[in-house]
Amino acid sequence: MFISLNIADRLRKSAESVPHQRAVVFPESRDSMGRVAWTHLSFQELDNEVDAIARGLVAIGVRPGHRMVLMVRPSIEFIALTFAIFRTGAVCTLIDPGMGKSSVLRCLDTVDPDGFVAIRPVHIVLKLMPWRYRNSRLNVIVGPQRRSLGCPSLPEVIAIGRQSGEPLPQTKATDSAAIIFTSGSTGPPKGVLYEHGMFDAQVDLIQGHYKPESGEIDLPGFPLFALFNLAMQMTTVIPEMDPTRPAKVDPEKILEAIRSQGVTQAYGSPALWNRVGRYCEERGLKLPTVRRVLSAGAPVPIHVLQRMTSALLPQADVYTPYGATECLPVASIGGRTVLTETAALTATGRGTCVGTVFDRMEVRIIATSFDVLSDIGLTRTLPQGEIGEIIVRGPVATREYFRRPDATSAAKIRDGESFWHRMGDVGYLDAHGRLWFCGRKAHIVFPKTGPMYSVCCEAIFNNHPRIYRSALVGIGEKGCQAPVIVAEPEAEQFPTNSEDSAKLRQELLKLGGENPVTAGIRQILFHRSLPVDTRHNVKINREALAVWATKALRNVDLEN
């Protein structure tokens, strides 16, 4: 029996329930006084536009299964186009431009697109490389078109769609909806294949756990999160920022949007909230309209939680959902719970508590393995409190990477008719059933004394008031690696001379030596700005840092 399901149906239902409520609000421009001129579409207007775009795309040849690459800046058009591509039955392909030109091109080569819905500069590049994407014939240009580039513009597609009477195709839960690429923070970016039913389950889990109300107003620092809002009848306020550089965000512009639009919920990477939290603390600012702040992408530092919760009303909180592109959400915890119950344990090297597991999701801790595990019978479940590899099963766990059977085999474990996803992380479950994160599996350091886990070790050194963050890296071959801490001091606290550097290094070594988790660390290096991922600006690129540390220590040896 065919049961129709398309994630874009959620928008249609929202339009039927709250037709005149604002769906998307966008900072279009500023007037001569510097005031923002906001533009918006209601749910009914947005749904009508999405329908017209979808019908126009179908009219120019887009069919279910076609891979359509969307490259448009955060805007009302980005949101409308995403839902429109879903509605055609095509597969919406999203690639983070912040990952760099070479990575973007590799991702596109893997996808072999049937079409590009993109801004003018993208189409110009395509014209300059006609041999590269020969199958891309279903192209649409978004934005001003000063001269023809051989493809229809978005207004033309909309006009065609409004005159079209053809019905839109139906999809089912297991049909492909999107290819979303990982950030590539621990290896080459991989295309994660999403199905309509997985997106639908994400909406249900998020809505059931955080319980946002219809009519709330959300400010998403990551554009794709706007899709969840529209499915939950929440207004989306697109922030005035570069989403590929959250660590460089202008706090005043974020706060301006929160104040002027009465934002009740906001999502952003820890790097974004670090900027906003410091700004609020320095000026004694409060955010009285905000009920919940969400932050993900990496463990949220304690100082960020302290600053942000201080800016909220007592009944509001900062939540830190845990998950990955391949499986989101998995678990969540509130910042106030962290500060009162788990932060003290984190500071002693116990890892970061990421909270209770979402309903309908299962988490298991197995003995850490770097091998392919084809069946659950090949795994060994670890007892409570023991650190091992985190595996997850549930309706939001994606089945495969696009055209990467090797990566799929390495990341999935068959269990009868279902499967488990290997998160690539290590951690443990405590006596309360809460999940603790101890770092990426790829970042475990293996000295002769046994494995050392990045998040556990780094927390010890992050206790020092002069240190902003730190990274554990291993030098040498596994099994006999030398553990090294690369510390990034606060900007105004970086050592100014050799004496200050030696003093800070000795203080850190003493701090590490007092804890059995870090007692074996003998080398401390200082770095002005640790390399981080392009998407969240917080995941430390320890692979690159290990190369840097090896060279730095070699230079130290030569000097001595």
d(CA 276, CA 274) in angstroms, rounded, equals 6
For 444-559, CATH number? 3.30.300.30
- The distance between the two most distant Cα atoms of the chain, rounded to a whole number of Å, is 79
The b-or-e profile of 443-470 (16+ CB within 10 A means b, else e) is bbbbbeeeebbbbbbbbbbbbbeebbbb
pLDDT tens, residue by residue, 494-546: 999 999 999 999 999 999 999 999 999 999 999 999 999 877 788 899 999 99
Averaged pLDDT, 271-277: 96
The pLDDT, as a whole number, for residue 538 is 85
CB 529, CB 494: distance < 8 Å? no
**Is the pLDDT confidence value at 311 over 80?**
yes
- Out of 121-135, 273-287, 314-328, 364-378, pick the least confident: 121-135
Q: Do 257 and 548 contact (CB within 8 A), yes or no?
A: no
Report pLDDT for 557: 58
Q: How far apart are CA 492 and CA 408, in angstroms?
A: 45
Worst-scoring range by mean pLDDT, 93-102, 110-119, 298-307? 93-102
Residue 323 has pLDDT above 80, yes or no: yes
Q: What is the pLDDT of residues 415-463, one digit of tens each?
A: 999 999 999 999 999 999 999 999 999 999 999 999 999 999 999 999 9
- 146 token code pair: 């000063």
> What is the average pLDDT across 384-410?
97
Domain 322-442's class? Answer: mainly beta
Indicate the class that CATH gives domain 45-195. alpha beta
Kindly report, residue by residue over 142-198, the tens digit of the pLDDT: 988 766 678 999 999 999 999 988 789 999 999 999 999 987 766 788 999 999 999
| Same fold: 45-195 with 444-559 | no
Report CA 100 to chain centroid distance, whole Å.
17
Maximum mean pLDDT: which of 93-107, 141-155, 243-257: 243-257
**Which pLDDT does position 146 carry in this prediction?**
64
Reference 235, options 263, 206, 202, 207; nearest CA is 263
Which comes out higher in pLDDT, residue 252 or 537? 252
pLDDT at 560 (0 to 100)? 45
Yes or no: say if 326 and 182 are a contact pair by the CB < 8 Å rule: yes
> Does the N-terminal peptide bond of residue 329 adopt cis geometry, omega within 30 degrees of 0?
yes
Whole-angstrom Cα distance, residue 560 to residue 558? 5
Domains of the chain, by residue range, sit at: 45-195, 322-442, 444-559
Query: Does residue 296 carry a pLDDT above 80?
Result: yes
pLDDT given at position 222: 86
Tell me the two tokens of residue 225. 């999160």
Residue of 358, 111, 345 lying closest to 210 (CA atoms): 358
pLDDT tens figures, 204-232: 999 999 999 999 999 999 888 889 999 99
Amino acid at 345: L
**CB distance 179 to 11 below 8 Å:** no
pTM across the whole model: 0.95
pLDDT band at 559 (very low <50, low <70, confident <90, very high): low
CA contacts within 13 A on the Cβ side of 280: 25
Residue 558 pLDDT greater than 70, yes or no: no
**Which residue intervals of 232-380 are DSSP H helices?**
251-261, 270-283, 302-311, 335-337, 343-347
Residues 147, 372: Cα–Cα separation, whole Å: 52
**What is the four-CA torsion angle of 156, 157, 160, 161, rounded to 10 degrees?**
-140
* Span 348-379, pLDDT tens digits: 999 999 999 999 999 999 999 999 999 999 99
pLDDT at 147: 63
- The CB density around residue 375, as the number of other CB atoms within 10 Å, is 11
